[in-house]
Structure 1
């Protein structure tokens, strides 16, 4: 195991070409430099320098170790700078997670505002289901996550706190020529003959199944499509209808309209999740998410 100070000394000797000059640069005595280089060469398994009449220069083994030493020292320097700005409450790396529909408009709007306010913050964004995001917050690999209580409630995680961000109403997506496209609100019972677009994975209970049961029917046909773009395509083609969270309204194409439902139980709650000791940038992003939700409304054209 090479010591960091020894690697710094190797670089200094290589740059100055002299044990004496390296000693002056690092405030060592020449004898201390000679001893430490001898120890380093012993650890490396052989000589690292060619001894010349005037000074020294790296041999092939020395050049190989020198290359790695520069990389290690550069990484350490970057780590020191990152830690300094983190402890000062400025900059650094911010790892953010969100579920899919939060990434359509809400999270991007807040991240853009954060970049404008704090350009020194480096943002890493990931997407995943709520249970995965909560685990990643708990193990320290995320600094903030936007999560949802759908479909099975908000999971708990050690060392994670959550605060409610907004209520996310579910709307029904219809093609513009649909007989109910101009209705103020839609009762699910009026859609009992429709095919429904749902997610590709049907092993969990869904709001749709519960809501249809409350309305007194079972969907006659369910078409399972994984991505929102595919669901929208099927609805636009008149092949079915779909429930769409209001957070996803910004991605709805012009061929569709979104109508409110009479069943007010069709909603989910969105939360911001943070570690118990959050970063300053994470707290700033939490506040920007609140502001973004207040201004990010669905396109009016889709609601009329």
Structure 2
């Protein structure tokens, strides 16, 4: 009902007790102040000021509106300050998404450095599949995401841009008692009779594993669809299958498993940062920290044969 400029004018007139002094404060003419106050009083349904021989003062209706005007203007001022801090990358909330293995060491290390550089920015961390994270970026529900083209290609989303962050080698996890566990580097063809533990690809699309097996001249004998890494590690440790493990996940590999490299058919996935069309400065800062982060992919539990 009442415009912000009208409320500012009301407060200025009340503070100065004069249309003339309010005009000076707000860089208006005295006649413009008189017209605007008259318009405001018409909107309010009656007079807001007592006209005195020298100046004006608020009447009861004016006091009531003045109280609300001060509250509104103070809230707007706080909002402007908060937005300025957010746009400067020094405050507010940063919503960060990442796929599961990126949250083992890569993203936490970058967030630790980010909190040191931007201590007043609140971090909200969200874990999910890359396709889900890309969609949430497009919907405005995330400010930055770390996504991957594993297992079935890099997803896309309208208005979202991606940049390569790193190339991540994929190892094969075998139980320590496996006949090939001590080989160090093995040929993918040597695993043609193994059951493979992997996520279920979206829409039944080919995966890095099925593509690599096809190039090696065979089809996986059996694929056991397990989404969580803890489940994959548990099945592999029990000797129920073998799994591709990205180097980002090596910190989490249990001692019962050994990681072997693949030879000529070595597989790698690409990890990307993803941003909306108009990224926040804080998101750009985190992107830079992710780029500059030291290589934390070789964890103490890597267990390379």
TM over 0.5: yes
TM-aligned CA deviation for residue 171 of structure 1: 0.8
- In structure 2, the residue matched to 1:289 is 290
- In structure 2, the residue matched to 1:123 is 123
Q: 1:6 to 1:254 in 2, by over 3 A?
A: farther
- In structure 2, the residue matched to 1:209 is 210
TM-aligned CA deviation for residue 242 of structure 1: 0.9
8 A Cα contact 2:251 2:302, kept in partner? no
Q: Name the larger-Rg structure.
A: 2
TM-aligned CA deviation for residue 246 of structure 1: 1.2
- In structure 2, the residue matched to 1:230 is 231
- In structure 2, the residue matched to 1:78 is 82
In structure 1, runs of 5+ residues without a counterpart are: 50-54
- Secondary structure of 1:284's counterpart equals helix
Q: 1:161 to 1:254 in 2, by over 3 A?
A: closer
TM-aligned CA deviation for residue 106 of structure 1: 0.7
Q: 1:218 to 1:296 in 2, by over 3 A?
A: closer
Partners of 1:81 and 1:40 lie apart in 2 by 33
Q: 1:293 to 1:131 in 2, by over 3 A?
A: farther
- Cα deviation 1:107-127 (Å, max 9, x = unaligned): 111111111123233333333
TM-aligned CA deviation for residue 142 of structure 1: 4.1
- Secondary structure of 2:269's counterpart equals strand
- Secondary structure of 2:220's counterpart equals coil
Corresponding residue pairs, total: 294
8 A Cα contact 2:197 2:243, kept in partner? yes
Partners of 2:155 and 2:174 lie apart in 1 by 30
- In structure 1, the residue matched to 2:53 is none
Partners of 2:282 and 2:86 lie apart in 1 by 13
Q: RMSD of the TM alignment (CA)?
A: 4.4
- Secondary structure of 2:230's counterpart equals helix
1:105 equivalenced with 2:105 (yes/no): yes
8 A Cα contact 2:184 2:304, kept in partner? no
Partners of 1:101 and 1:118 lie apart in 2 by 25
8 A Cα contact 2:159 2:277, kept in partner? no
Partners of 2:223 and 2:36 lie apart in 1 by 73
- Secondary structure of 2:295's counterpart equals helix
Superposition TM-score, scaled by structure 1 size: 0.71
Partners of 1:249 and 1:275 lie apart in 2 by 30
Q: Which moved more, 1:73-82 or 1:220-229?
A: 73-82
- In structure 1, the residue matched to 2:219 is 218
- Secondary structure of 1:294's counterpart equals coil
TM-aligned CA deviation for residue 76 of structure 1: 4.8
- Secondary structure of 2:102's counterpart equals helix
- Secondary structure of 1:190's counterpart equals helix
8 A Cα contact 1:196 1:242, kept in partner? yes
Q: 1:212 to 1:68 in 2, by over 3 A?
A: same
- In structure 1, the residue matched to 2:173 is 173
Q: 1:18 to 1:168 in 2, by over 3 A?
A: closer
- Cα deviation 1:55-75 (Å, max 9, x = unaligned): 988999999999888766654
- Secondary structure of 2:293's counterpart equals helix
Q: 1:279 to 1:68 in 2, by over 3 A?
A: closer
Partners of 1:40 and 1:200 lie apart in 2 by 65
